[in-house]
Structure 1
Amino acid sequence: MHAFPAAPLPLFERPEWAGRVGVFDLETTGVDVRHDRIVSAHVGVLDADGAVLESRSWLADPGIEIPAGASAVHGISTERARAEGRAADVVVAEITAALRDIFGRGLAVVAYNAPFDFSLLRHEAERHGVDPIIDPSPVIDPLVLDKAVDRFRRGKRTLGVVAEHYRVTLTGAHEAAADAIAAGRVAQALADRYGPWLPPAAAEIHTRQVGWAREQADSLTEYFVKIGRIDPADPVDGRWPIR
């Protein structure tokens, strides 16, 4: 993997993909992308300074009970979702349309741990008879980028930890709008720090992340096998940005 510098460089022209960016996040009933459901979502657009230009949020009635563990994370109960949430099929259709609109404008969409959000949205779309986004592109995933440019940094790589590392404020973690906006600003901070070593075009950085995600999954598989956590025949899934 390419070696990246550990310290910021003097100011330079940013990669073009880090200017105006789309942002996307889901809060859900769980972590199974095939069977869990959308509870809340945010799709928006940030300008080059990370200010919010467009913002749209949804609360859905997922049609199933929201487990207590999930409610503890995002703060949305089954009762609230049923009372205030809109029909899941309508919400899924509108989220999908909003993302298609941003991609159609030629903007990259930032999503932290993108395969989770895009894969779950795809399965929700198929569940509700909505034409799914099969191949989202271009996507920027700050989790993949951060692991690529600072591979050996110790500690967790949750959005909260990574946002703090890049001096991005995250207020209200696990609220879809807060997470989406913070992820977009982290992507821009990564571009500011490592831009000379990153492709300038959105399509090219997207393609690079496909390879980096695969390499990261292979490395994690090797580690998990070594400590006996997984069987070599069941490797970590490295497909990106959708599984």
Structure 2
Amino acid sequence: MLPVDALPPPLSRVGVFDLETTGVDVESDRVVTAHVGVLDLHGREIAARDWLADPGIAIPAEATAVHGVTTERARRDGRPAREVVSEVTASLRSLLAQGVPVVAYNASFDFSLLANEAMRLGVEPLVDPAPVIDPLVIDKAYDRYRPGKRTLAVVAEHYSVPLESAHEAAADAVAAGRVAQALALRFPLPASLADLHVRQIGWARSQAESLTEYFISIGRLDPEQTLDGSWPVRRADPSS
């Protein structure tokens, strides 16, 4: 349970969002499962919906190893991808229209892949969703020099947020929301959601620039390459 009196009002009710997919390419991979929910000021989930899609392509074994969904299961039990993408997009659009911030860990992955899926399937995409809260971007901004990985599992443990069934969309979404609330208790975040959203745009850009420099220094990127720091929806291929 979170200490209610200390939680800033903008984060007393937050949406949470996560996708599990066929891979990590936001331009070509597909949605397999999705979760959209709402957390109250205690970090309890008070509304939730899950989706299982038939992505229309085979799910690689590497992806199945992460989230557990096989091609056979998706084809048997999954709904058409267009229906799933349309409903997930509509659910997020509704929350954002109400001024409810949507938390997504590494938001530029989930929102970018969803937008590309929407465009591919003829669904109106969320081009510039706001307000969005990305615990990964915020954690890096306020605790930049902490050593170690920044996966959701590692960061959740650091902020004493339980995470069971990692890489299951509902578990990851709820944990990300609780990490966002924990960050708001730990650090002096901007007072308004609009300010926090704008700050994250700048932080994400700076973090991508710093990581680009590091990757070039170790030979992982060529000097003319850059990582795309667009947030919360990527505008270009991040490897270009």
- Common fold by TM > 0.5: yes
1:142-180 residue CA offsets vs partner (Å, 9 max, x unmatched): 000000010000000000000000000000000000000
Equivalent residue for 1:142, pick from 114, 127, 135: 135
Aligned to 2:192: 201
Aligned to 1:223: 214
Q: Which structure would you say has the larger RCO, counting Cα contacts within 8 Å and 6 or more residues apart?
A: 1
1:217 and 1:70 map into 2 onto residues whose CA distance is 25
Q: CA deviation at 1:214?
A: 0.7
- Over the aligned positions, Cα root-mean-square deviation in angstroms equals 1.3
Q: CA deviation at 1:11?
A: 9.4
Equivalent residue for 1:51, pick from 22, 25, 44: 44
Aligned to 2:237: none
Maintained 8 Å contact 2:4/2:41: no
2:208 and 2:121 map into 1 onto residues whose CA distance is 31
Maintained 8 Å contact 1:16/1:202: no
Aligned to 1:115: 108
Number of residue pairs matched? 232
Gaps of 5+ in 1: 1-9
Residues 34/65 of structure 1: CA separation in 2 closer, same or farther (3 Å cut)? same
1:71-102 residue CA offsets vs partner (Å, 9 max, x unmatched): 00000000000000001000011000000110
Tell me the TM-score normalised to structure 2 length.
Answer: 0.94
Q: 2:127 matched to 1:127?
A: no
2:203 and 2:111 map into 1 onto residues whose CA distance is 18
1:55 and 1:11 map into 2 onto residues whose CA distance is 22
Gaps of 5+ in 2: 235-240
1:189-239 residue CA offsets vs partner (Å, 9 max, x unmatched): 000011xx2101111100000000111111111111111111121111111
2:48 and 2:172 map into 1 onto residues whose CA distance is 13
Residues 88/222 of structure 1: CA separation in 2 closer, same or farther (3 Å cut)? same
Tell me the TM-score normalised to structure 1 length.
Answer: 0.93
Q: What is the percent sequence identity of the aligned residues?
A: 66
2:80 and 2:167 map into 1 onto residues whose CA distance is 22
1:188 and 1:106 map into 2 onto residues whose CA distance is 17
Aligned to 2:224: 233
Q: 2:31 matched to 1:38?
A: yes
Q: CA deviation at 1:16?
A: 2.7
**Which deviates further from its counterpart, 43-52 or 15-24?**
15-24
